[in-house]
Amino acid sequence: MNTAVVDCPPARSPAQRRQLVGALPALVPADAQRIAAFLDTAWAEQGLSRASLESYRRDLEALARWRNGQHGGLLQIDRAGLLAYLAWRSAHGWSPRSTARLLSVLRAFYALQLRTGARSDDPTALLDSPQRGRSLPRAVSEAQIAGLLAAPDLASPEGLRDRAMLELMYAAGLRVSELVGLPASGVNLRQGVVRVTGKGSRERLVPLGAESLYWLERYLQQARPQLAGGRAVAAAGDGQVPLFITAGRGPLSRQAYWGLVKRYALLAGINPDRISPHSLRHSFATHLLNHGADLRALQMLLGHSSLSTTQIYTLVAREHLKQLHRHHHPRG
């Protein structure tokens, strides 16, 4: 492994961790081929979304590059090697949740190597996943959401686009990948719905309110033609024409949208460390429950395959009721 990278100062932020991984040695061809074959199998057998496959790829490539192709790369790594890598990640601040996801990917990867005869043992067999506390989704108050939505500068086409994106994400409870990957054909203004392809390639129809429809229509009529410069918008890698575009007529990336949310949070007087694009999805769910929405209907709107995933939002709503009682009851 690259000792210069291992011995560098601990990373303290996601950006520093990305830089740390970016500084690792290049991926060797043998590992690249193994990873590609695994992703092809995962897509064919599990129907994983492009975002999930990309996440798997990043996890496996980071490990392979950390190994630097020494000692045979991914195929020859043993339990001690994996433990050393996990210790390195821990020293640089990767969360238990991230490590648990990594171990899930590694178990699937090495199960395939066993199945195909590429390996005779599984180095992940005796590795335990880290204990994860049950963290509640972090929602933003309705007043803060209103401030965030009003933050973009509507005098520019980018600002009008950003307002429409924020409105749509909060109105429909979209995941970031669903929002930036939404095709132009996915929105039906006349019927007031958006067709979303979520995890596992599952489709769902989500109704839109008057506010989000208003801003979407303004974006489509005013901002999008300006951003496109009067030219046709090219299809993205999936063959679909993206709904939300940059001045270069390409789709907005998840990282770019993340940065926009942080910037508008600052403008709205919200601590940017306490909000992320996913906060709008959490707020969508929490605010609906606070106003009496049915849990199973919320499950359908969020695109959860299991009701148990949706039920965590009832805990957030319960905390909201407790706070109301504490603040307003005479003996609270």
pLDDT in tens, 45-67: 877 778 888 999 999 999 999 88
pLDDT in tens, 264-277: 999 999 988 888 88
- The answer on pLDDT for 2 being more than 50 is no
217 closest CA partner among 249, 187, 173: 187
> Which residue numbers are catalytic?
175, 199, 278, 281, 304, 313
At 318 the pLDDT is 58
Mean pLDDT calculated for residue range 24-52: 87
CATH for 142-328 (3.30.470.10, 1.20.1200.10, 1.10.443.10, 1.10.760.10): 1.10.443.10
Mean pLDDT calculated for residue range 184-196: 93
- The answer on pLDDT for 110 being more than 90 is yes
Confidence class for position 315, pLDDT limits 50, 70, 90: low
Pairwise CA distance, residues 38 & 45, whole Å = 10
pTM for the whole structure = 0.61
**Domain ranges, ordered by start, for the chain:** 3-116, 142-328
Least reliable range by pLDDT among 193-197, 299-303, 313-317: 313-317
pLDDT in tens, 3-14: 444 456 666 678
Task: Answer yes or no: are the C-beta atoms of 52 and 178 closer than 8 Å.
Answer: no
Pairwise CA distance, residues 282 & 145, whole Å = 11
pLDDT above 70 as % of the chain: 85
pLDDT above 90 as % of the chain: 40
- The answer on pLDDT for 156 being more than 50 is yes
Task: Answer yes or no: are the C-beta atoms of 82 and 123 closer than 8 Å.
Answer: yes
At 202 the pLDDT is 83
Contacts of 52 (CB under 8 A, 6+ apart): 199
At 9 the pLDDT is 63
Task: Answer yes or no: are the C-beta atoms of 237 and 210 closer than 8 Å.
Answer: no
Pairwise CA distance, residues 47 & 286, whole Å = 29
At 4 the pLDDT is 41
At 6 the pLDDT is 47
Least reliable range by pLDDT among 197-201, 241-245, 326-330: 326-330
67 closest CA partner among 91, 85, 49: 85
Helix (H) or strand (E) holding 158: helix 157-172
